[in-house]
Structure 1
Amino acid sequence: MNRDEKKKINYDIDIPECTLDGYIDEISYHIIINNLVKNIIEHANAENVEVKVIGEEDRIIFEFSDDGIGIEPDLKERIFEKFYKGSGSRGCTGSGLGLSIVRLLVEKQNGEVSLDTQRNKGTAFKITFPRIR
């Protein structure tokens, strides 16, 4: 499919009304959500995208998953490098900074980002922020 063609993507979004206070600042929250969802739309070739936010007493967890093409195992760390654009990025207008910004913002606030992926089955990003006491 040509990248210029519109593709239907089904979204399942589960973000409860929980406060971000004590976990992450609101600006970083919006940048992280925007960059990860944009990355999935542009690169995953997914039909279904799921976004969840899970608030726990001592941490908050963001989960982003898709049923797309997955990521090659040897690229799991490389996709977080500044200006890295994978071979599937041809025709995309991105700068290659989106995921590096996500990792920078997460680590700056003592959070962790992990990635689980399987070729042709999809990818799941999990971001965890501890509660700041």
Structure 2
Amino acid sequence: MFGNIGWGEFMVLLIAALVVLGPERLPGAVSWVTKSLRQVREYASGARQQLKDELGPEFEDLQKPLSDLNQLRGMTPKAVITKHLLDGDDSILTGNFDSPSTPSVNGSGSSPGGSTPPRPNMSKPLAPGEIPPIDPDAT
């Protein structure tokens, strides 16, 4: 419940509530807040159950994008870009284009299926004055 509030902030809030409400009304205010939070949780779980009952199997289809968004919340921007836009290939971010990249977010090499196969005739640089090979299918 208080995941983002530390003990110091909680104590400041408690002292501020004690000053504003006074010692006579503070216990009543605390009990009112806890009852209200409990009621909101019951409403939310009831609404969720009602939505689940009405949608049936489509509820999981609706829930999957939300769980994906929750997973992205904890990731760094570089990890998000590497995983979703570049399919795990972080060579464009690291500048290391020749060798397979280190395992990235999804645990694979530079491609989702594993490391990339070696490219034919691309392992050695061209000699000065040598004409590069032409791929007729690429042009």
Common topology (TM > 0.5): no
Q: Which has the higher helix share?
A: 2
TM bucket (normalised to shorter chain) is under 0.3
TM-score (norm 1): 0.23
Relative contact order (C-alpha < 8 Å, sep 6+): which is higher?
1
Bigger-Rg structure (1/2) = 2
TM-score (norm 2): 0.22
Q: Which has the higher strand share?
A: 1
